[in-house]
Structure 1
Amino acid sequence: MYKVFINDKPIIITSSTKKENNFPVYVFKNTVFDEIFHKLKNDTIEGINLYSTDLENDWNLFLKNFDVVKAAGGLVTNPKNEVLFIYRNNVWDLPKGHIEKNESTENAAIREVEEESGIEKLSIIQKLITTYHIYFLNGIKLKETHWFLMHSNDSKKLIPQLEEGITEVAFKSDNEIEMVFKNTYSNIKLVYKAYLTL
C-alpha cells in the first residue's frame, strides 16, 4: 500500500479489496489523475482509494505524473525519550529537507536536522518510513521524504532556522505530543506512528 497526501487528504493506492475507510474507490487503470487531484483540492471528499491489480507497476506509473523531489529528515529522541519538533509556518513539523546532489540520504537527514534545529551529536538508529505528499509549485511535485529515527544527548540551547520559517524548536513529551497533533500534518503522524511500533 502507498499513501500520498494532497492538502492532508490521502490517495491510497492498494491491492487490498478490504475496505478500511469511507473514501470512494476507483480502479487504478481507469483513473484520470488530474480529475482526482482536482477533487481532493476542491471537493468535500476526504480521501480516495485506488485499487491496483499490480501495485509496484502501478506505483511506478503513478510517479510518472510528477517531478519527484527527494528529501530526508529525522525523528530525534533525547535521553528522556522526548521527541524533537520544529514549529514552521504556524504548524508543528519534524525537521527535514532536500537531498543535495551526490549526498547520501542519511547525510542529508542529519544535515537538515542540524540546520533546522541547531542540535548536534546526532546518531541514526534506523530507517523509519518513507512518506509522500503532492504540492503545486511550478507544476505538480511529489515530495518523497525518507525518515530516520535519530538520537542525541546534546543539551545545549536549540536554535530555530528562522530563514526557513522555523520559529520554535522543542523536545516534547508524550503528553505534549497530543497537543502537537492538533496542529500538524498527516505525514508527521505516520512517522510518529512508525516510531511507536518499533
Structure 2
Amino acid sequence: MYKVFVNDKPLFLTNEVAKETDFQLFLLESIDIEQLIIKMFNNKIKKAYLYYPDEKEILKKVKEKIPVKKAGGGLVYNNKQEVLFIFRNGKWDLPKGGVDKGEENDAAAIREVEEETGVTNLKITKKLQKTYHVFKRNGLYRLKITNWYEMTTDFEGIPIPQAEEGIEKVAWLNREEIKQALNNSYENIKLLFEEEKVV
C-alpha cells in the first residue's frame, strides 16, 4: 500500500478492500483522479482509498493519470545529532527539491540540501523511504515522489536560507525542538521521523 498526501490528507493506494467506513473507496480504473484531488484540496474529502487489484501495478497506473515530478531530499544530522530543518510557507520542512534531467536522485538530494541551506560536506549514510504528495503548479496537479536520504555533516558554519525558494529560516533542531517542529510540519515529513524513530 502507498500513502499519498493531498493537502496533507491521506490518499491510500491499495489492492485490498477494507470494511471500514471512515473513508471513501474509489476504483482507480474509473475515477477521474483530478476531480478526487480537487475535492481533497477543498476539504470535501478527508481520507480516501484508491483501489486497484494488482499491487505491483498500482503506482504505475496512478502515474499514467497524473504527471510525476521527482525530488530528492535529506534528513541531515550534525556532530551534535541535531537535524537540519527549513522553515517555509509557515511550516517546518526538510530540505528537498527537484531532480534535474540526467541527474541521479542521491546527487539531487545533496545538491538541494546545499542550495537550500548552505550546509556542505554532506555524506549519505543510508537511503530512507520515498514519500508521495500531490501539489499544484501553474494550474496543474502533479505527484511529487521524493527520494529521501539520511546524511551526516561536520559543517560548523552558519546555515543560509535560500531566499529565492521562499525559505525564511534554517535551523539545527535537537530532539525536543523536533517534536515541537513536527506539530507544525507536513504529514510526509512526520512519516520519515516515525520510520527513523528520531523522536
TM-score for the superposition, normalised by structure 2: 0.91
Residues 41-190 of structure 1 mapped to structure 2, 5 A cutoff: 41-138=41-138, 139-190=140-191
Matched to 1:27, the amino acid is L
- Cα distance in structure 1, aligned partners of 2:123 and 2:18: 39
CA distance in 1, matches of 2:161, 2:79: 21
55-64 vs 9-18, which deviates more? 9-18
Letter in 2 for 1:162: A
Structure 1 runs of 4+ off > 6 angstroms? Answer: none
Distance, in Å, in 1 between the alignment partners of 2:4 and 2:182 is: 19
2: CA distance between counterparts of 1:9 and 1:22? Answer: 13
Report the 3-state secondary structure (helix = DSSP H, G, I; strand = E; otherwise coil) of the residue aligned with 2:106: helix
| 5+ residue gaps, structure 1 | none
User: Residue type of the partner of 2:131?
Assistant: T
Deviation at 1:160, TM superposition (A): 1.0
| Aligned residue type for 1:141 | R
Percent identity of the aligned residues? Answer: 42
How many residue pairs align between the two structures?
197
Deviations 1:130-176 (A, max 9, x none): 11111122322111111000011211111111111111111111111
Secondary structure class of the residue paired with 1:64? helix
8 A Cα contact 2:14 2:58, kept in partner: no
Aligned amino acid, residue 118 of structure 1 = G
Distance 2:20 2:78 in 1: 35
CA distance in 2, matches of 1:194, 1:168: 25
Amino acid across the alignment from 1:33: I
**Contact 2:34–2:141, Cα closer than 8 Å, also in 1:** no
CA contact (8 A) 1:70 1:144 kept: yes
> Residue 24 of structure 1 contacts residue 47 of structure 1 at CA under 8 Å; is this kept in 2?
yes
CA contact (8 A) 2:6 2:135 kept: yes
Query: In the TM superposition, what is the alpha-carbon distance from 1:95 to its structure 2 partner?
Result: 0.3
The verdict on how the C-alpha distance between 1:111 and 1:19 changes in structure 2, with shifts beyond 3 A counting, is: farther
Task: Name the stretch that deviates more: 103-112 or 14-23.
Answer: 14-23
RMSD over aligned CA atoms reads 1.9
Displacement of 1:26? 2.7
Q: Which residue of 2 aligns with 1:31?
A: 31
Deviation, 1:45, is 2.8
Q: Which amino acid aligns with 1:68?
A: V
Instruction: Show structure 2 runs of 5+ residues with no match.
Output: none
Q: When the two structures are superposed, what TM-score results if normalisation uses the length of structure 1?
A: 0.91
User: Is the CA contact 1:149–1:195 (under 8 Å) kept in the aligned structure 2?
Assistant: no
